């Protein structure tokens, strides 16, 4: 007789309880830390703004990891209207690894109803998760925490996860090889930004007021174009979000959560240290150059599919 279901239920309930701790503490009135070297818990109203528990799941894939423990879960944030980008990912790196699982995460469009379109697409592909917050640049932090929460509660036995944008080329073949050398816990890697500063110009897309972020520098963080982390960090980042006030720059926000956890992101370079494996610039395609990188930035859907046709056939000869 199978006994796996009760154990998985216990793990699911335990993970959900851990993720709810910051909100429970905030609701109980514990908003100040007794240790002056630790951050304070957010007020309840601030935490509700960013917590995935504050929003309703419209589409979910609760059984995606029921009968498997993926080595790598690829978490792709998309706008509801980005059907072409989703098709391109499914036709390329999104289905290239037997040990990978690719999922798309979306909010709801402002001022228009595309829910029925996503429902049909979800029925066909079973790879879309959607919550009822407005899908916008300002809400990317909510979407990132939605992804972290999903991994922690729906796929707790995964080994690694990767947050990656839909316009990125991902060399899944090389990445799966690299994962064998990565630590299994407390690890995050990508293109690390160590000298980031808040933009104080109100005309900037990345404007942050001193009220939103009073510090002069950001802690080290990984570029949001694409980064890889040990799956245990999904639960830990979800927990740390209870201490970090929301800002719209989701990659910086993850860096702030990592600071709470005492986890430093690792810059992913080639053995000789001369090549950034997570290339956040746009590069002209060259098969063997791409074979020695994990990601390259800046591809339209048709371009990504064209490049992938050549790369998937010939990368092993590089």
Burial-class residue 34 by CB neighbours within 10 Å (0-12, 13-18, 19+).
exposed
Cβ neighbours around 40 below 10 Å, total: 14
Cβ atoms of 244 and 260 within 8 Å: the answer is: yes
Distance of alpha carbon 157 from alpha carbon 268, whole angstroms: 24
Cβ atoms of 35 and 95 within 8 Å: the answer is: no
Pairing between β-strand 57-59 and β-strand 128-134 as defined by DSSP bridges: antiparallel
The H-or-E segment that residue 85 falls in is helix 83-91
Cβ neighbours around 2 below 10 Å, total: 5
Per-residue pLDDT for the chain (318 aa), expressed as one digit of tens each?
333 434 444 344 444 444 443 433 333 222 233 333 467 899 999 999 999 999 999 999 999 999 899 999 999 999 999 999 999 999 999 999 889 999 999 999 987 655 567 999 999 999 999 999 999 999 999 999 999 999 999 999 999 999 999 999 999 999 999 999 999 999 999 999 999 999 999 999 889 999 999 999 999 999 999 999 999 999 999 999 999 999 999 999 999 999 999 999 999 877 665 778 999 989 999 999 999 999 999 999 999 999 999 999 999 999
Cβ neighbours around 123 below 10 Å, total: 10
Distance of alpha carbon 35 from alpha carbon 55, whole angstroms: 32
Distance of alpha carbon 83 from alpha carbon 88, whole angstroms: 9
| This prediction's pTM | 0.86
Cβ atoms of 139 and 63 within 8 Å: the answer is: no
Tell me the domains of the chain and their CATH numbers.
Answer: 4-167+174-265 (3.90.550)
Strand ranges across the sheet with 100-108 = 57-59, 128-134, 100-108, 72-77, 160-164, 226-230, 188-190, 266-267
Distance of alpha carbon 167 from alpha carbon 101, whole angstroms: 18
Give, in order, the Cα–Cα distances in Å from 4 to each of 11, 59, 228, 259.
Answer: 11, 25, 29, 36
Tokens for 96, please give them. 């290239």
- Location of structure tokens 């503490």: 25
Residue partners of 204: CB distance under 8 A and separation at least 6: none
Distance of alpha carbon 55 from alpha carbon 134, whole angstroms: 10
Question: Which residue blocks in 138-185 are alpha helix, DSSP H?
Answer: 140-154, 172-179
Distance of alpha carbon 226 from alpha carbon 169, whole angstroms: 10
Distance of alpha carbon 78 from alpha carbon 121, whole angstroms: 14
């Amino acid at each position: 007789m199978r006994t796996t279901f009760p154990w998985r239920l216990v793990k699911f309930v335990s993970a959900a309880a851990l993720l709810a701790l910051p909100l429970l503490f905030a609701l109980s009135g514990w908003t100040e830390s007794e240790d002056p070297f630790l951050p304070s818990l957010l007020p309840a109203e601030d935490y509700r703004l960013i917590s995935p528990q504050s929003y309703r799941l419209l589409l979910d894939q609760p059984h995606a990891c029921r009968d498997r423990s993926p080595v790598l879960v690829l978490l792709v944030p998309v706008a509801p209207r980005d059907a072409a980008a989703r098709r391109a990912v499914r036709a390329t790196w999104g289905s290239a690894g037997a040990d990978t699982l690719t999922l798309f995460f979306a909010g709801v469009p402002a001022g228009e109803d595309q829910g029925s379109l996503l429902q049909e697409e979800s029925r066909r592909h079973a790879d879309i998760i959607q919550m009822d917050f407005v899908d916008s640049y300002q809400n990317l932090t909510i979407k990132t925490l939605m992804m972290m929460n999903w991994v922690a509660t729906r796929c707790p036995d995964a080994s690694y996860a990767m947050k990656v944008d839909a316009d990125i080329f991902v060399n899944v073949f090389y990445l799966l090889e690299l994962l064998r050398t990565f630590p299994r816990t407390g690890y995050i890697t990508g293109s690390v930004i160590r000298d980031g500063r808040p933009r104080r110009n109100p005309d900037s897309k990345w404007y942050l007021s001193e009220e939103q972020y009073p510090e002069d520098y950001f802690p080290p963080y990984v570029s949001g174009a694409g980064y890889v982390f040990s799956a245990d960090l999904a639960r830990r980042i979800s927990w740390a979000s209870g201490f970090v006030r929301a800002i719209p720059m989701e990659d910086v926000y993850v860096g702030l959560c990592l600071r709470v956890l005492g986890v430093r992101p690792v810059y992913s370079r080639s053995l000789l240290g001369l090549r950034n494996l997570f290339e956040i610039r746009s590069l002209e395609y060259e098969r063997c150059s791409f074979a020695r990188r994990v990601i390259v930035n800046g591809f339209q859907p048709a371009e990504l599919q064209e490049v992938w046709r050549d790369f998937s056939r010939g990368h092993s000869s590089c």
